[in-house]
Amino acid sequence: MKKIFVGSLPLDATQDSVSALFSEFGTVRSIDLARDVFTGKCKGFAFIEMEGHEARAAIAGLNGKTFGDKHIKVKFEDLKKRGKGRRR
């Protein structure tokens, strides 16, 4: 199982629309779509889990492609950067 980072998603993106986009390349195991706490709208990024070969195909097929009105960025999750947000 591989985790993919998807960036530059349009604010009107939903779990269903992102799942439909990635399901062309295989089975989407999970989607964690970042949402604004107050508005519920997409914050512009998500994490998706797929099998390794399917994830590689999705990255090759979707990185830089237009989704909604944006060119999305699709790559494997960078574990070094994740979780380095604000700390108190």
List, as one string, the DSSP characters of 19-32. Answer: HHHHGGGS---EEE
Structure-token pair, residue 77: 């999750």
Tens digit of pLDDT for each residue in 18-77?
Answer: 999 999 999 999 999 999 999 999 999 999 999 999 999 999 999 999 999 999 999 999
Please name the amino acid found at residue 9. Answer: L
Task: Please count the other Cβ atoms lying within 10 Å of the Cβ belonging to residue 38.
Answer: 6
Q: Which CATH number fits domain 2-76: 3.30.420.40, 3.30.70.330, 3.40.190.10, 3.40.1010.10?
A: 3.30.70.330
Q: What's the distance, CA 61 to chain centroid?
A: 13
* Domain edges within the chain: 2-76
Of 76 and 80, more confident: 76
Residues 6+ positions from 73 with CB-CB distance below 8 Å: 5, 6, 7, 8, 63, 64
pTM for the model stands at 0.87
